[in-house]
Amino acid sequence: MSLLVVAPRVNVNSANPQFPYPPDDRLDPMIKEQLLEDVKSAMKARDKRRVNALRLVAAEIKRKEVDERRPVDDPSAIAILEKMMKQRKDSHGQYLAAGREELAAQEAFEMTLIQGYLPEPLSAEEVEALVEQVMKEMGADHISKMGQVMGALKSQLAGRADMGPVGALVKARLST
């Protein structure tokens, strides 16, 4: 007769027993922590509209953590927030086109809330200067180098500039 021994579940993250994934010293979840603090303060202020909008953002970040089985760091949180901003912009435009002012106002409110967690956007001049700098560093002088230039720019411009116009700018500079 064999005896089956079941070991108790051990929490590998002793620093935070609510989050069972191993801690990563390189991660600095400042955006997530600020978001959760803002949810608490909005709850205390009984601001239902703000609480609901912040909970949507918090839920999306939590979903990403569960899907990837690791905590969300600031670059990942910025990517999530950018995606949510794009969704809100699209919805806002559609609601305005359909004459649904109350829903458009809610989307606009959520966009302003999300924008508060994103880094300060760069001006057009700053983006152009960064594009020129990266192109010089890489020695990019032909359109065939566009992918490499965009890859280098993406990490530097994450959350600070819309990559669509940046791509057009890089393409225009490399085509001449």
Q: Which helix (H) or strand (E) holds 125?
A: helix 124-138
Of 78, 106, 71, 81, residue with least CA distance to 91: 106
Selected residue with higher pLDDT from 46 and 22: 46
CATH number of domain containing 50: 1.10.1510.10
DSSP letters, 109-163, are HHHHHHHTTSPPPPPHHHHHHHHHHHHHHHT--SGGGHHHHHHHHHHHHTTTS-H
- Indicate the average pLDDT of the chain: 83
Share of the chain above pLDDT 70, in %: 84
**Mind listing the pLDDT tens digit for each residue in 13-39?**
444 444 444 444 433 458 889 999 999
Average pLDDT (66-88) is 91
Question: What's the pLDDT at 122?
Answer: 87
Token code pair at residue 48: 């239902």
Q: Contact at 8 Å (CB) between 57 and 113?
A: yes
Which whole number is the average pLDDT over 125-153?
A: 90
Which among 97, 115, 133 is the end of a domain? 115
For every residue of 37-68, DSSP letters joined together read HHHHHHHHTT-HHHHHHHHHHHHHHHHHHHHH
List of E strands, 73-137: none
Domain containing 132: what range?
124-175
When mean pLDDT is compared across 21-25, 104-108, 135-139, the lowest value belongs to 21-25
pTM of the model: 0.69
- Same domain for 60 and 104? yes
**What is the number of structural domains in the chain?**
2
The pLDDT of 78-101, averaged and rounded, is: 94
Q: Dihedral of CA 111/113/117/119: which sign?
A: positive
Q: What angle do CA 160, 85, 92 make, to 5 degrees?
A: 135
Q: Token digits for 63?
A: 């979903």
**146 and 77 fall within a common domain:** no
Domain annotation covers residue 21? no
Report the Cα–Cα distance between both ends of the chain, in Å, rounded: 81
On the question of pLDDT at 136 being above 60, the answer is: yes
How far is Cα 175 from Cα 142, in angstroms, rounded to an integer? 7
Q: Do residue 143 and residue 111 come from a single domain?
A: no
pLDDT at 12 over 90: no
What confidence category does residue 157 fall into, taking pLDDT thresholds of 50, 70 and 90? confident
